[in-house]
Amino acid sequence: MFSPRLVSSLKRLLPSSLYKRLDPFETAIESFVRTVAAEIPAGKRVLDAGSGEGRFKPLFLHAEYVGIDSTQGDPSWDYSKVDVIGRLEELPFRNVSFDHILSIVVLEHTPQPARVVEEFLRVLKPGGLTIFSGSPRAVFVTCWREGVSASTKFSRSADSFGNLDGI
């Protein structure tokens, strides 16, 4: 895995089409999160669970974005902009306090993923949307709303997701 700083530099220096070919998984994830962010109405409260360096924060400027991370991941990452330092198994938030939850390539790195999902359910408001994705070896995206779940696999492009209203 490349250092986040190297990836960021390559992203700025290389033509977009070349960068997308070099890292299709990250490109698909970013495209998917960009699509999700665009569909979230202004002012909604969004939890980025396992936010790391907060790379998705700029996509949610129209929302009340809160990033939480344990800061125990990649030692080369800069966690100085994490909003809340904490464990996903014990979220330090009130019940039903978030409209949406985003957790991108995180669950497979937690010691108790089922407990994390229970915490997501606890802090998610009724009608909220939770978005998960997994690592390249377990590529999946799961979205659920009001107890109705749907899973979709993706290959190269997040465009196959379409509108999330039907989930």
Amino acid identity at 21: R
- What pLDDT is attached to residue 85? 96
Amino acid identity at 167: I
Q: Is residue 14 part of a domain?
A: no
Given a cut of 60, whether residue 164 has pLDDT beyond it is no
What's the CA gap between 104 and 133, in Å, rounded? 5
**pLDDT-derived band at 41, boundaries 50, 70, 90:** very high
Given a cut of 60, whether residue 60 has pLDDT beyond it is yes
- What pLDDT is attached to residue 159? 36
- What pLDDT is attached to residue 57? 97
Q: Is residue 2 part of a domain?
A: no
Model pTM above 0.85: no
Among 39-53, 58-72, 111-125, the range scoring the smallest mean pLDDT is: 111-125
The pair phi, psi for residue 151, each rounded to 5°, is -120, 140
Give the domain range for residue 52: 24-166
Given a cut of 90, whether residue 110 has pLDDT beyond it is no
Structural domains of the chain, count: 1
**pLDDT-derived band at 44, boundaries 50, 70, 90:** very high
Q: Is residue 154 part of a domain?
A: yes
Q: Are 88 and 119 in contact (CB under 8 A)?
A: yes
Q: Is residue 17 part of a domain?
A: no
The average pLDDT across 92-119 equals 90
Tokens of 53: 């360096």
Question: Which CATH number characterizes residue 79's domain?
Answer: 3.40.50.150
Q: Is residue 3 part of a domain?
A: no
- Higher-scoring residue by pLDDT: 13, 79: 79
pLDDT digits (tens, 9 = 90+) for 17-28: 776 667 677 778
Q: Is residue 11 part of a domain?
A: no
- What pLDDT is attached to residue 144? 45
What's the CA gap between 120 and 122, in Å, rounded? 5
Go through the chain and tell me how many residues it has: 167
Q: Is residue 5 part of a domain?
A: no
Given a cut of 70, whether residue 121 has pLDDT beyond it is yes
**pLDDT-derived band at 102, boundaries 50, 70, 90:** very high
Given a cut of 70, whether residue 104 has pLDDT beyond it is yes
Residues 6+ apart with CB under 8 A from 97: 45, 123, 125
Given a cut of 70, whether residue 91 has pLDDT beyond it is yes
Q: Is residue 15 part of a domain?
A: no
Q: Are 108 and 89 in contact (CB under 8 A)?
A: no
